[in-house]
Amino acid sequence: MSSGHAPTSTRQFQNVAVVGHHAAGGRREAAGPLGGNLDQVWEDDLAGEATWEAAEAKMAVHVLGGAAEGGGWQLADVDVVLGGDLLDQLVSTNFAGRQHRRPTLGVFSACATFAEAVGLAGVWCELGSARVLAGAWSHHLAVERQFRFPIEFGYQRSPTASWTATAAGALAITQGAGPVRLRAFTVGRVVDPGSTDPMDMGTAMAPAAWDSLQRHLEAVGETWSAYDRVFTGDLGMVGSAILCDLAHDGHFGRVHDDCGRSLYRPDQDVHNGGSGTGCVAAVVASHVLPHLEDGRWHRVLVAATGALFSPTSYQQGESIPAVAHVIELEAGR
């Protein structure tokens, strides 16, 4: 039975639209280049909650509600919420589900989670009428204390370290037409270049990004010239340079941009750039979609990248594999 099947991990969509989007960030994100585009800014790290984790869940509820509203939907009309975060057992996504009460599917591909959620929303909506919300969120303080050191420790960040964003983004996705079409989704393979430095995610993730982007291009039968932008998220300075070396293609270099580099200014002391599940989500919701809606861009790829490790795997001496999932967005009704 194995002969004759040409494996394809890409789904192309004829009839899926992004009809709403909402992006939120914290103070540092508001001070960055996209600050003016954020729909909501959380000045208070705790957002009025008792813990950072609860603040992250609250941020999730708000961007999901904002995206639904953007689509002209009431939350009660939403069929499925697809989302994820970096916290153990996806507690912010699931505790958000306790509040919004809509059917919830948790997904996890580290910082590639947003593209997994959006891509699966596309699969769901291509199949039939539906109103789906897809998003991702991260809170700097909740994530950092879980993955690395207690924040209070005041450790020194290495030059290749990224800054986990306090950011969230959600999209309202449905079957039908809309200002932006979701055109395709490619599922990534786990690629392990053998990196072992949890302070250098860009190096660990660049090969996975290149693997998935190449596979996507082949599946949809396009060249880089078809796209106004090819965003990765979040390779930052270090990973973006490696990716462009791997691509070895002038045209790719001209269209490539990175969500981790887009969220902050170089003088914001974020070193390699932004990261965290919420980074690419917020950049897509606040930057990519508006450019497609108003016609400045026509066609964009987003290859969200995730470093697949846990504090346990790292302490056990495992290397840090990575994955990248690709979504393709196109302007037009």
Is residue 15 near a copy of itself by the rule CB under 8 A?
A: no
Is residue 221 near a copy of itself by the rule CB under 8 A? Answer: no
**160 interacts with a copy of itself by CB under 8 A:** no
Tell me which of 26, 66, 71, 233 binds a copy of itself, using CB under 8 A: 71
Q: How far is the CB of 177 from a copy of itself (least distance, A)?
A: 13
Structure tokens at 103: 């059917």
Q: Tokens 């899926």 correspond to what residue?
A: 16
Considering only residues 27, 44, 77, 150, which one is a binding residue for a copy of itself as defined by CB under 8 A? 77
Rounded to whole angstroms, the Cα distance separating 160 from 203 reads: 9
Identity of the residue, 52 or 231, whose beta carbon is nearer to a copy of itself in the bound complex: 52
Q: Return d(Cα 134, Cα 121) in angstroms, integer.
A: 7
Contact call for residue 88 and a copy of itself (CB under 8 A): yes
Applying CB under 8 A, which of residues 308, 327, 329, 331 lies at the interface with a copy of itself?
A: 308
Give yes or no for residue 333 binding a copy of itself (CB under 8 A). no
- Measured from the Cβ of residue 228, the count of other Cβ atoms closer than 10 Å reads 17
Tell me whether the omega of the peptide bond preceding residue 269 falls within 30 degrees of 0, making it cis.
Answer: no
Largest CA distance in the chain: 58
Angle at 173 between CA 223 and CA 126, to 5 degrees: 70
Among 1, 48, 248, 333, interactor with a copy of itself by CB under 8 A: 1
CB of 268 to a copy of itself, least distance (A): 27
* Bridge partners (DSSP) listed for residue 171: 21, 134
DSSP H or E segment with residue 205: helix 201-220
Give the residue, chosen from 45, 126, 222, 293, that forms a contact with a copy of itself under the rule CB under 8 A.
126
Of the residues 321, 329, 330, 331, which one makes contact with a copy of itself according to CB under 8 A? 321
Q: Which is nearer to a copy of itself, 26 or 97 (CB)?
A: 97
In the complex with a copy of itself, the residue whose CB is nearer, 146 or 268, is: 146
> DSSP characters for 3-29?
TT-----EEE-SSEEEEEEEEEEEHHH
Binding mask 42-61 for a copy of itself (x = CB under 8 A): --------xx-xx-------
Q: Which two tokens stand for residue 242?
A: 């490696």
Query: Smallest distance from the beta carbon of 195 to a copy of itself, in angstroms?
Result: 12
Position 196 contacts a copy of itself (CB under 8 A): no
- Structure-block tokens of residue 106: 């948790």
Stretch that binds a copy of itself, among 21-29, 67-75, 222-230, 252-260 (CB under 8 A): 67-75
**Secondary structure element (H or E) that encloses residue 64, with its range:** helix 52-70
Q: Is 79 in the site for a copy of itself (CB under 8 A)?
A: yes
Q: Are 181 and 18 in contact, with CB atoms under 8 Å apart?
A: yes
Q: Residue 276, by phi and psi: left (phi above 0), alpha (psi -120 to 50) or beta?
A: left
Burial class (CB in 10 A: 0-12, 13-18, 19+), 293: middle
Question: Which range of residues in 29-37, 222-230, 294-302, 319-327 is near a copy of itself by CB under 8 A?
Answer: 319-327
Using CB under 8 A as the criterion, which residues of the chain lie in contact with a copy of itself when the complex forms?
Answer: 1-2, 5, 7-9, 11, 50-51, 53-54, 71-74, 76-80, 84, 86-91, 94-95, 97-98, 101-110, 116, 120, 123-124, 126-131, 146, 186-192, 308-313, 316, 318, 321, 323, 325
